[in-house]
Amino acid sequence: MVDNRHATALVIAGVLSALASVYLSVSVGSPHWYRYTSPPVRAESNATELRALQDEFLDRDFDEKTASDAMFRMNGTTGLWWRCVQTPTDAHWYREADPKMLLECVTFTPSQQFTPKYKEPGNHNSGEDTIRTYLWRCQFLLPLVSLGLVVLGGLLGFCACLCGSLTPVLFIGLLHLLAGLCSLATVCCFLAGMDLLHRVSVFPDHVDATLGWSLYLALIASPLQMMSAALLVWAARSHGQTYYRMTAYRVA
């Protein structure tokens, strides 16, 4: 039998786990982890250059230097699975004071996620940058691992409810703890990878780089998962201690 304290802890842990899963899922599927703000273009020659850069960016053949340059100069955003730039809707947009812009996005294919990164972006002869390569792969895999651990914990919890047992709750709490660490590691890998990219890239003048709301969602998901883990572990240990005391009392 589960007393009210343990039942309340389990319900709160379930709500926190569900919120964290929603936040992380939305974050992973959106392109707003990092955004660039570039100055407006007023010359036709620069506009022509940006059109060519836009065409290369929207091409399915991924080139890290081209993609980075386009995002730097076209108010781009990037996420774990998407990269986007703002493109004009009018042919003579550079003559307008406030031109209408459209956000166009291209997804990273699974093969592109595992493409090696080079010490000089776009230069395959510069040698592979092992650190950036594995940071990029980790930021792609870790959120999937985190969500998978939460789903596994949910399935175990559902089975435990059907059986009326709290035995697997401690293991479910440990799964949520690992999921929280994976979510936190995802954010750390992404920020470290972006910092290393900026160090080896030619960053244009007057371009501002800021963190996007998607990254903060992933950052919020991590402590929610850890709080859920703490409640689950507490409920499992407290229930176990109560059970042993009741057993000892009955024997006595």
Alpha-carbon span 179 to 142, nearest angstrom? 9
β-pairing, 82-88 with 34-37?
A: unpaired
Alpha-carbon span 191 to 212, nearest angstrom? 12
Alpha-carbon span 196 to 120, nearest angstrom? 11
Domain boundaries, the chain: 4-240
Read off the pTM: 0.84
Alpha-carbon span 53 to 244, nearest angstrom? 69
Give me the count of residues in the chain: 252
The predicted pLDDT at position 11 comes to 87
Alpha-carbon span 205 to 214, nearest angstrom? 26
- The identity of residue 33, as a single letter, is W
**Which residues are CB-neighbours of 39 under 8 A, at least 6 positions away?**
206, 207
First-last CA distance in the chain: 20
User: DSSP readout, 6-25?
Assistant: HHHHHHHHHHHHHHHHHHHH
Q: Candidates 1.10.630.10, 3.10.450.710, 3.30.565.10, 1.20.140.150; correct CATH number of 4-240?
A: 1.20.140.150
pLDDT of residue 219 exceeding 80, the answer is yes
**Packing angle of the helix pair 4-28, 169-200 (nearest 10 deg):** 30
User: DSSP readout, 28-93?
Assistant: HT-S-SEEEE-PPP--HHHHHHHHHHHHHHHSSS--HHHHHHHHHHTT-EE-SSEEEEEEESSTTG
Report the chain's mean pLDDT, rounded to a whole number: 82
The predicted pLDDT at position 247 comes to 47
What percentage of the chain has pLDDT greater than the value 90? 38
Least confident of 75-79, 91-95, 168-172, 244-248: 244-248
